[in-house]
Amino acid sequence: MLKNVPQRQWVFSIPKRLRIYFLFDRKLLAKFSICAWKVIKAYLKSYASDDSAVPGSSIAVQAYGDFLNFNPHLHAIVSDGCFFKDGDFQMVPGFMLEDLEGIFQYEGLKMLKKECKITDAIIENMLSWRHSGFHVYIGNRIFSEFLPFRV
């Protein structure tokens, strides 16, 4: 069930260079979704007027792309702002995708290093790339009257 507030679809994808680790260690997919949640929470809370603010989100792992190739990525339905303890909701004014992708890249590389999948040399190499391969897509705002499941 979704609260009666505007939502957006977010999609998180990772560089082809890293996908092999997820193919042979599927437990990383859950950790990948935790990285996405950290990005969502940190970014949306940065616009909130109170540190107790929390965004709403539901994240689903998808392991394959359009052509049935292995392409681990995440689809998330995310509230377009944060909820407060008193029940109030504050919308986010806009998004800077470059900032989001930078946070996502940081969280993703940190997680893979912690899991001993990549080394500092791989991280250094990937940080030198012009296009990181870490991508965050944010769809248009969907207003609550168009959502099939809401409270």
Q: 16-24 and 27-45 are packed helices; what angle lies between their axes, rounded to 10 degrees?
A: 130
What pLDDT is attached to residue 1? 55
Tell me, what's the pLDDT at 47? 87
Q: What would the DSSP string read from start to end of 20-68?
A: HHHHH-THHHHHHHHHHHHHHHHHHHTT-SSTT-EEEEEEEEEEE-TTS
- Decide if pLDDT at 104 tops 60: yes
Reported as a pLDDT band with limits 50, 70 and 90, residue 94 is confident
Structure tokens at 15: 């560089």
pLDDT at 69: 85
**Where in the chain are the domains?**
7-146
Q: Model-level pTM?
A: 0.88
**Whether pLDDT at 137 is above 90:** yes
Check whether domain 7-146 has CATH 1.10.1740, yes or no: no
Cα 138 to Cα 69: distance, rounded to the nearest angstrom: 23
